[in-house]
Amino acid sequence: MSQWKNFSKGLIVENAVFVQVLGMCPTLGTTTSAYNGLGMGLATTFVLLMSNIVVSMVRNFIPDKVRIPAFIVIIASFVTVVQLTMQAYAPALYKELGLFIPLIVVNCLVLGRAEAFASKNKVWSAAIDGLGMGLGFTLALFMLGSVREILGAGSWMGFKFIQGDGMLLFVLAPGAFLALAYLISIMNKVSKKKA
């Protein structure tokens, strides 16, 4: 039962973006639309889930001196799977996300969960943790991408509902910071009301 607590922690209580403020590079760089945010979040979730499982399986066989390099090789293997799959089956999304896909390897969320959780827990717990943290990351990227797309382009998931252009600021980098700041403040207010 405690594994499912880890799942829910990753979604809300310890959300990587809204609470821990981890993985800001892809968060701010890829969320110009809800579709891009969802794609990047799901790619990261897959890498996080699979790397947590493998790290947990081999944790007793990796010497302490090469622990971090070993984790990076494991993570890089799954990033390569994601990159090649996306390039083959979702070329438009692959082109949009570009360099941010290989950068999943050095995303502090993925490496941090491998080091802090997967290397110290059993496979099932590590899988649940990876899934929860990944889906929380996906939710945050999707929310941020949605806000930026709605305000910046007057559309959502590619469906235009406002004629003309939106507020260009939200499609640009400063808009990412503004939208993220407002979302974090809303999340803080909601979590304080629950407490």
Mean pLDDT across 107-118: 92
Task: Share the mean pLDDT of the chain.
Answer: 90
Q: Which two tokens stand for residue 146?
A: 């949605």
pLDDT of 120-133, one tens digit each?
A: 999 999 999 999 99
Q: Which residues of 159-193 are buried (b: 16+ CB within 10 A; e: fewer)?
A: eeeeeeebeeebbeeebbebbbeebbeebeeeeee
Residue 15 confidence (pLDDT): 87
- In whole angstroms, what separates CA 74 from the centre of its chain? 18
Residue 78's alpha-carbon distances to 10, 36, 49, in angstroms, are 21, 19, 10
Q: How many domains does the chain have?
A: 1
Which tens digit of pLDDT belongs to each residue from 41-100?
A: 999 999 999 999 999 999 999 999 999 999 999 999 999 999 999 999 999 999 999 999
The predicted structure's pLDDT at residue 140: 94
User: What pLDDT score was predicted for residue 195?
Assistant: 55
- 135: CB partners within 8 A, 6+ apart: 10, 11, 41, 45
Percent with pLDDT over 90 in the chain = 68
Domain around 145: 2-194
Lowest-pLDDT choice from 3-7, 88-92, 181-185: 3-7
pLDDT at res. 103: 92
